[in-house]
Structure 1
Amino acid sequence: MLSRLCKLGQLERIAQGQYIFPDELEDELLSLSLRFDGIVFSHETALYLHGISDRVPFEHSLTTSSNCVPPAAILKECNVYYIKPELLSLGKIRIPSPAGNLIPAYDVDRTICDVIRSRNRMGTETFLYAIRAYANLPEKRLDRLAEYAEAMNISGVVKHYMEVLL
């Protein structure tokens, strides 16, 4: 029935098992989050969702547990970061996508920890912009940033960057 509706132009297939009406806009982030339950939007994508990035990411970044393997389509479409299973839910929130649907992402403090932890995999310009923008945020939670950094074993590096900027 679904293939028949697609042929008639009444539905559009956006991914395996996911369809939208032709007059609707696809929410790419919601679609990705529904394809694999064990992902959290992070790094450049989370920076964008929190409004502390000056550009829309070309490829979405997500984090998953080191003992999980996302589907091949997600691996091909996204930058995938892996973390210990016990740290996957640290700082995880539900945030509205640009289309207004709630999706899993990391809060801004955890995002900065991820950015610092993965600074060698990110562009220098994106990294520096994110760190400076975070330092200027009035709603930053330095206590939570320190807690996350301690859990992720990067407290010395985080402290170094924050001392320089604050």
Structure 2
Amino acid sequence: MNMRQKIDLFLKKNNGQVTVDDAKKLGLDPHILVDLANSGQLERVDRGVYINPEIFEDDMYILQYRFSRGVFFKDSALFLHHMIDRTPDRYQMNFPLGYHALAIKQYPVKVYRQKSEWHSLGIEEVLTPGQHKVRVYNIERTLCDILRTRDTSDTETIRQAMLAYAQLEQKNISQLIQFADLFNVRDKINAYMEVLL
């Protein structure tokens, strides 16, 4: 199998997207991606990220690839968990305290920072609408996050998310209470859950 065939096979498996890191894992010289982009067979959508020109780029995956320490947060997490029905106009990502990436300013991202022991709680991987894995906080933590931060989500978003959670078959109430206690929003969570559950 030649290099181009390996890339084509990977593109089919990975929903039309390939990164420099992917090429290295395939044992290929990453410059093949540049060559394919220069000849119009791939499209470079960001530093180190290439797509089949026939597909749409996956913004959330690109952000995750570029800023790997970030975790999708708040309304962005609700969107990824299918808890709200609208795409956020600005993505929200949480980073460890002290993390600074100047390049992130050029993206539609609201940056949050949190001490490391809180930053790492409740992380899981889910698929974006483009079918690529990204890091996001689990549903229980996200419900607490939308209630606790100074710029809380709007009332309609919170109501829609709480209602969606109440209707979930697989919910972890004990973990929700654990996060609610940790983030000091137990009374707010209780108020919603008493009405909905």
CA shift in 2, pair 1:71/1:164, >3 Å: farther
Structure 2 residue 161 is matched with structure 1 residue 165: no
Structure 1 unaligned blocks of 5 or more: none
Partner of 2:98: 67
Deviant stretches of 4+, over 4 Å: 1-5
Matches within 5 A, 1:4-19: 5-19=36-50
Relative contact order, higher structure (CA 8 A, sep 6+): 1
Cα deviation, residue 92, structure 1 = 0.5
Normalised by the size of structure 1, how large is the TM-score?
Answer: 0.85
Distance 2:155 2:101 in 1: 27
Partner of 1:142: 173
Structure 2 residue 22 is matched with structure 1 residue 22: no
Partner of 1:87: 118
Cα deviation, residue 28, structure 1 = 1.6
Partner of 1:96: 127
Normalised by the size of structure 2, how large is the TM-score?
Answer: 0.73
Confirm or deny: 8 A CA contact 2:148 2:184 kept in the other structure: no
Matches within 5 A, 1:49-68: 49-68=80-99
Greater CA radius of gyration, 1 or 2? 2
Cα RMSD for the two superposed structures:
2.3
Number of aligned positions between the proteins: 166
